Amino acid sequence: MSPRPVRPGGPELWIGGLTPPGVERAARLGRGFVCVLPDQIGAYVEARRRLGLDDGRVAVGNQWIVAEDPERTLAAIGDHVLYQVNAYIEFGAFGPPDQVPRLTDPQQLVDMGHYRLLDANGAAAELGRQLAAGPVVDCFSWTLFPGEPVDSAAERLQYAADHLIPAVRKGMEVSRG
């Protein structure tokens, strides 16, 4: 027995991309754009408009570490995040793997822009900017890095639940009202 579509016409196709051609393809073919580089939201919207389409929908991924003391958190989990980014380098996500040097120090993750360190208020402000800049309908971020103890990630998730989500809600109320 085959599964049936959950909606008329079948499931939506959302497309991600890291390069300008990938963003263009997502604008042309997808029902939404899975964006892991927030700076690409504008390029997606522009591509949709050139095609005579609406601004589309974006699920934006934020490469950040949100914690009460993000520098201390990076010191604690940096090796796990470093492993993740180096794996993406090996997969060719940032260019030809033989031409992109591997990172050796967790501080490079921040210095090179792979990750940002934010507290709840900083992350809420960034989400507010993203919502104002384009058709963002969803957001996501890494919460558990390869090899990281679950308790470590659970602490950050609890911080987000207690501080980030209320700050985002408060910001949305202020912008509406």
pLDDT in tens, 104-115: 999 999 999 899
Q: Average model confidence (pLDDT) for the chain?
A: 90
Residue 151 lies in a domain: yes
Domain around 154: 62-82+117-176
SS3 118: strand
Residue 139 lies in a domain: yes
Structural element, H or E, at residue 60: strand 58-61
Residue 1 pLDDT grade (very low, low, confident, very high; cuts 50, 70, 90): low
pLDDT in tens, 32-56: 999 988 889 999 999 999 999 999 9
pLDDT > 90? residue 99: yes
Decide: 109 and 74 in contact? Cβ < 8 Å: yes
Residue 30 pLDDT grade (very low, low, confident, very high; cuts 50, 70, 90): confident
Please give the angle made by the CA atoms of 118, 122 and 123, to the nearest 5 degrees. Answer: 75
Q: How many domains does the chain have?
A: 1
Average pLDDT over residues 133-155: 91
pTM across the whole model: 0.82
Q: Is 50 left (phi over 0), alpha (psi -120 to 50) or beta?
A: alpha
Residue 129 pLDDT grade (very low, low, confident, very high; cuts 50, 70, 90): confident
- What angle, rounded to 10 degrees, do the helices at 70-91 and 150-159 form? 120
DSSP state of 98: T
**Burial profile 29-63: b = 16 or more Cβ within 10 angstroms, e = fewer:** ebebbbbbbbebbebbbebbeeeeeeebbbbbbbb
**Distance separating alpha carbons of residues 12 and 54, to the nearest angstrom:** 16
Residue 134 lies in a domain: yes
Structural element, H or E, at residue 117: strand 116-118
Average pLDDT over residues 89-93: 91
